[in-house]
Structure 1
Amino acid sequence: MGEVLDRIEEHAEEIRAAGVEGDELMRLPDTSAQRLRDAGVIRLLQPVEHGGLAAHPREFAETVMGVAAMDGATGWVSGIVGVHPWELAFADPKLQDEIWGDDPDTWLASPYAPMGVATPVDGGYILKGRWQFSSGTDHCKWIVLGAILGDQHGKPIMPPTILHVFLPRADYTIVDDSWDVVGLRGTGSKDVIVDGAFIPDYRTLDSADVMDGSAPRNAGRTESTYLMPFSCMFPLGITSAVIGIAEGALACHIAAQKDRVAITGQKIKEDPYVLYAIGESAAEIAASRAALLETVDRFYDKTEAGKEISFDERAIGRRTQTAAAWRAVRAVDEIFARSGGGALHRKFPMQRFFRDAHAGLAHAIHVPGSIFHASALTQLGGEPEGMMRSMI
């Protein structure tokens, strides 16, 4: 276990308890956000020259899992907000200084989905749009957004060119009443609106360069952490959170069943069917964890050796990552169905783990269709085209 996770573990009970508050506030409680800052969770993938740890991606994943096992929303914010310093590490040094120069604990929100249009003007772009699902946004002073390049009239140019654009808090509006959901309520994943903000050129990255690995190399980055594929690093934080939530649900379930007696008078620990379900679910969650970490370890080792990770390998890595999330949530379903009616009470955390797990599975990064298609096609000697190559 890494030092960052050691530090956050010291406050595990406080973070678990604050999960109730986050569910009501529909954002991360200030105390939980402060614990993440103090422990350095969001600085795990941040470059050393800006106060970060430039950690091995495995340590990042394990930390996110550990936090999510305490509280799903806190783990989710750790995984989503925690990956943004990784990309900022190969943005323009002027932008890095602008964001981290005075405070290395400055957080960035997102999303990357291109829900706005960037219209070229002298020295940069004018940005307009509305973006959904900006996780942890109340605690962030900057944001990175996906935008489609537009023509001089603000109409998207086809085929699309996607930019990642960085804005300070003064240049966008958070829509406070836009997040009232069934799961991951405490993430505060609200809508944001940008209405004509000017984006200087140095505050942008070409999404294609980020996706194909050109951006970190063009920036002169040589550390293996920053040369990892985007299609491995971005999903890593999200899927780690889902697996951590499943681990939290399992721990919660086991604790509740130790002394539980069924309505029939039988002790749960003497019910062979429940025992089988617990054993099977524990094995499935452990397999999900192992599969995700094995992929990131293997990709890191190959990157460290100076070798390229092929499209075929990336596709299979995405298949593994997506399947891991689904496997873990199916395991949660099995134990939740055997938790008894008490698990439905809002005063117990089991129901929140259940809701958070399913909400996490709904993220676009976990949709298996095109990923399974592309990975199978490459193994059969085919060549995925168009959307079949998306996020691979």
Structure 2
Amino acid sequence: MVSKLQEKIVPNTMAAPEPDLTADELVARAVALRGALLEGQAAAEERGTYSPEMHAAFEKAGFYRTLQPRRYGGYEFGVPTFARMVMEVARGCPGSAWCLALSSGHSLNVAQLFGERAQEQAFGPDGHFAAAARAIPSGTATHADGGWRLQGTWDYCSGVPYSTHVMVGVRIVGEDGPPQVAVALVPRDQWTMLDNWGGYIGMRASGSNSVVMDGAWIPEHLLVREDFFAPDLSQGTEGARLHGNPMYAGGTLGFFQTEISSIIVGLGYAALDEYEKIISARKAFGPNAVLQSQHPDYQRPYGIALGKLEAARHAVLGAAQEYMDLARLCMEGERTYLRSDDMRLQAGMQQAAQLSFEAVDMLYRAAATSASAKNGTRMQRYFRDISMARTNPGLQFELKAADLARQLFSERTQSPAGQSA
């Protein structure tokens, strides 16, 4: 079924660098960069982000344009393709994947929430776009000079070292009534990145620096009066109307969790690769010892971890596809994209991350002290990265569980049957 919105797609105004690039080719490029990413892990940690050379490689590969609208020079491949690409980058360097995913992915949110004028400005003139995002409204927006004056400090802006913009939650002040929340899209010349990313146990290459705005100014069209965590989808979205693609008609939590859980699943596979390398080079204890890779005591953790990671990978990719399907049904008027839809997708992908946590923990222990706990080893780095990721608010499934149940029960008393799972 073709929706009326899809029939109204406006022809492209900016061609992508490689118009014939396929989703599988994009993912294959991420696989091809694995060796360079592995080699650069230590330097990326020391630097706090990936190198300018790796940034250029990501740009050339088309990673920043994965979700960007075709109308503005992107490939518009879809959320499952984005998840696959991020997993493969994370398999080479989890911290670098965190930095890349949380800057390249937010082209979806810009295309979803902002109007045509804002998108033309953000994605132009050459189509290269990257934006760190911090949804918590840590600053203020005040009407001034026909636009908005912004003030505040936003921490943990992952991906900001190579960002052309930032997307931040703000509180609108100076108007009647209590402050409203909104989302501001702010070009790089209007903010300062602080040199304050360091001193953490892991994800040191994630580029999660803070951003400061002191009297920054943006035009009216670069701010939307929406709750970044829960935009109003009842009347459709700007992205659905402009691009005719359901990818831009969904909620926020389901997509944000795709970013994070894809990284964590890729991290798990990176640890599995490293474990295989370790046990393929060492012998088990005892007379007539064989390689550990030939001994059941070392094969068993590998097999269990692989099973957990396969389940996690399928869970994330399945949720990414369901995000697209639910948004399509919403755009076509078949059903409403519910708040509980977003929360269910988030909950499932949180559990996928939990499976990866369990796999890495098992492999870390099985590889033993000299290969796992020593400074400079990759297994230690993966364990540190997992330890850091566990503290992310988006991975605290216990804190979200009651909210999910409460939302579902509330909707079921108000909506027709079949709207919720």
Q: How many angstroms does 1:187 deviate by? A: 1.5
Q: Secondary structure at the match of 1:233?
A: helix
Instruction: Give CA deviations for 1:127-179 in whole Å, capped at 9, x if unaligned.
Output: 11111111221212221111112236xxx964x52211111222111111343
Name the residue aligned to 1:246: 268
Q: How many angstroms does 1:97 deviate by? A: 2.3
Matched to 2:139, the amino acid is G
Matched to 1:124, the amino acid is G
Does the CA contact (< 8 Å) of 1:174 and 1:190 recur in 2? Answer: yes
Distance 1:206 1:179, change over 3 A: farther
Instruction: Give CA deviations for 1:52-91 in whole Å, capped at 9, x if unaligned.
Output: 0111210010110011001112211222112211112241
TM-score scaled by length of structure 2: 0.83
Does the CA contact (< 8 Å) of 1:149 and 1:157 recur in 2? Answer: no
Which of 319, 327, 335 is 2:347 aligned to?
A: 319
Q: Secondary structure at the match of 1:190?
A: coil
Name the residue aligned to 2:47: 25
| Residue 351 (str. 1) matches residue 380 (str. 2) | yes
Listed as ranges, the matches of 1:105-144 within 5 Å are 105-144=128-167
Does the CA contact (< 8 Å) of 1:299 and 1:309 recur in 2? Answer: no
Q: Distance in 1 between matches of 2:281 and 2:197?
A: 42
Does the CA contact (< 8 Å) of 2:64 and 2:129 recur in 1? Answer: no
Listed as ranges, the matches of 1:283-298 within 5 Å are 283-298=307-322
Which of 336, 349, 358 is 2:364 aligned to?
A: 336
Percent identity reads 22
| Residue 4 (str. 1) matches residue 32 (str. 2) | no
4+ runs of 1 displaced by more than 6 Å? Answer: none
Name the residue aligned to 1:172: 191
Does the CA contact (< 8 Å) of 2:65 and 2:75 recur in 1? Answer: yes
| Residue 34 (str. 1) matches residue 69 (str. 2) | no
Which of 95, 112, 119 is 1:96 aligned to?
A: 119
Name the residue aligned to 2:279: 257
Does the CA contact (< 8 Å) of 2:237 and 2:249 recur in 1? Answer: no
How many residues align? The count is 379
| Structure 2 residues not aligned, in runs of 5+ | 1-22, 413-421
Q: Distance in 1 between matches of 2:239 and 2:116?
A: 14
Q: How many angstroms does 1:350 deviate by? A: 1.6
Q: Distance in 2 between matches of 1:66 and 1:115?
A: 33
Q: How many angstroms does 1:273 deviate by? A: 3.6
Q: Please, which moves more after superposition, 2-11 or 183-192?
A: 2-11
Q: Distance in 2 between matches of 1:87 and 1:302?
A: 16
Does the CA contact (< 8 Å) of 2:365 and 2:372 recur in 1? Answer: no
Matched to 1:41, the amino acid is F
Q: Distance in 2 between matches of 1:178 and 1:347?
A: 20
Q: Distance in 1 between matches of 2:63 and 2:323?
A: 22
Q: Secondary structure at the match of 2:270?
A: helix
Does the CA contact (< 8 Å) of 1:231 and 1:318 recur in 2? Answer: yes
Does the CA contact (< 8 Å) of 1:142 and 1:166 recur in 2? Answer: yes
TM-score scaled by length of structure 1: 0.89
Distance 1:269 1:13, change over 3 A: closer
Q: Distance in 1 between matches of 2:111 and 2:180?
A: 22
Q: How many angstroms does 1:334 deviate by? A: 0.9
Q: Distance in 2 between matches of 1:312 and 1:167?
A: 30
Q: How many angstroms does 1:233 deviate by? A: 1.3
Does the CA contact (< 8 Å) of 1:115 and 1:146 recur in 2? Answer: yes
Which of 290, 301, 310 is 2:325 aligned to?
A: 301
Q: Please, which moves more after superposition, 196-205 or 208-217?
A: 208-217
Does the CA contact (< 8 Å) of 1:28 and 1:136 recur in 2? Answer: no
| Residue 86 (str. 1) matches residue 86 (str. 2) | no
Which of 181, 184, 196 is 2:203 aligned to?
A: 184
Name the residue aligned to 2:99: 77
Name the residue aligned to 1:390: none
Name the residue aligned to 2:220: 201
Q: How many angstroms does 1:228 deviate by? A: 2.5
Distance 1:211 1:358, change over 3 A: farther
Q: How many angstroms does 1:272 deviate by? A: 3.2
Which of 215, 218, 233 is 2:237 aligned to?
A: 215
Q: Distance in 1 between matches of 2:164 and 2:327?
A: 32
